[in-house]
Amino acid sequence: MSGTRHCVFIRQHQRGAKIRDQSNPPDTPPVRRQPKQARSTFALDAILEAVARTLESHGKAGLTTQRVADTAGFSIGAVYQYFPNKEGLIEALAQRELARLTRMMAATLEKPAHYGTGINARRMIRVIGEFIGERPRLYGVLRAEWADAPPQSELGIGMREYFAMISSSLRKENPYLGERIATDEARFVLFRAISGVILATALERPDLLRSVAFEDQMVRLILGFLNFDMTPFLLNAAPGNAIAGAVTDAPCTAHDSGQAPATDPAATSN
């Protein structure tokens, strides 16, 4: 067989084999390339998880872009494609986790109890306990990021929406009590108290997080804060005030969570 005829035979053989392969495709389909958006989502999730693990192991001070890249298994250049610096990494993680907590809380309070005796408060305690208990060291960092977020930032707006959702739920349980956390000061004190206690419990006594007795005490903390009335003596007992010395003799009042006190809510909400 001449060289020319040999080449023609080979081409015909290859063409026939190709046709036979197409008529009888293999059982295993060829691997398709992932869409670009899916690949980007996977990379972003991997980077943020690496940020979380680094914060848990080394704290905020020990977070570097190189360390995140090593943990994620990417080059540092790949990380810089998504985030300009380590501050951007922390902010993105804080936003993602706040969104997750908000979804968890929204699902729990989808049908809030009306005029219950701390039912909504107990539900909230369980959600926060579950969230913090998963990764308490990470939450210790994120908690500070949430608190320090500028009000007009995306993170700050997310915090306000989170607080508004909880305030609305408490208002449905008891309209008066919901108004007691209408101010920024009241929300800051109450939520920092709740998260601080649960964080300390997750780190020091994690066995208590699933305890009904622990939940009972947390409900007391919330309802006690919401029900306590500031007396005129306490409201006016500023440093240097002439009546400050009489504070120890001033009576204090608290009300049952199911009933609003007779005093004007506007006079005591601050």
Q: Domain with 96 in it: what CATH number?
A: 1.10.357
By the 10 Å C-beta count (0-12 exposed, 13-18 middle, 19+ buried), 72 is classed as buried
Together in a domain, 103 and 77: no
Residue 16 lies in a domain: no
* DSSP of 242-261: TTGGGGGGS--EE--TTS--
Residue 14's contacts (CB-CB under 8 Å, 6 or more residues apart) are none
Residue 269 lies in a domain: no
Name the pTM for this structure.
0.71
Q: Tens digits of per-residue pLDDT, 77-121? A: 999 999 999 999 999 999 999 999 999 999 988 876 665 657 888
Report d(CA 2, CA 10) in Å as an integer: 12
Residue 12 lies in a domain: no
Together in a domain, 203 and 134: yes
Report d(CA 209, CA 124) in Å as an integer: 13
C-alpha distances (whole Å) from 22 to each of 11, 25, 27, 28, 84 are: 17, 5, 12, 13, 48
Residue where the block lists tokens 């909880």: 166
Report d(CA 105, CA 57) in Å as an integer: 27
Domain of 199, in residue numbers: 92-231
Residue 251 lies in a domain: no
Residue 194 lies in a domain: yes
User: pLDDT tens, position by position, for the chain (270 residues)?
Assistant: 444 444 433 344 444 443 333 444 444 433 333 336 777 888 999 999 999 999 999 999 999 999 999 999 999 999 999 999 999 999 999 999 999 999 999 998 887 666 565 788 888 899 999 999 999 999 999 999 998 899 999 999 999 999 888 888 777 767 777 777 778 888 889 888 999 999 999 999 999 998 999 999 999 998 888 888 777 776 666 565 554 444 444 444 444 444 444 333 333 333
Beta bridge partners of 229: 253
* Tally of residues, the chain: 270
Together in a domain, 97 and 208: yes
Together in a domain, 140 and 185: yes
Residue 261 lies in a domain: no
Together in a domain, 97 and 160: yes
pLDDT at 237: 60
Report d(CA 109, CA 104) in Å as an integer: 9
Residue 193 lies in a domain: yes
Together in a domain, 98 and 225: yes
Report d(CA 264, CA 50) in Å as an integer: 52
Q: Domain with 70 in it: what CATH number?
A: 1.10.10.60
Residue 248 lies in a domain: no
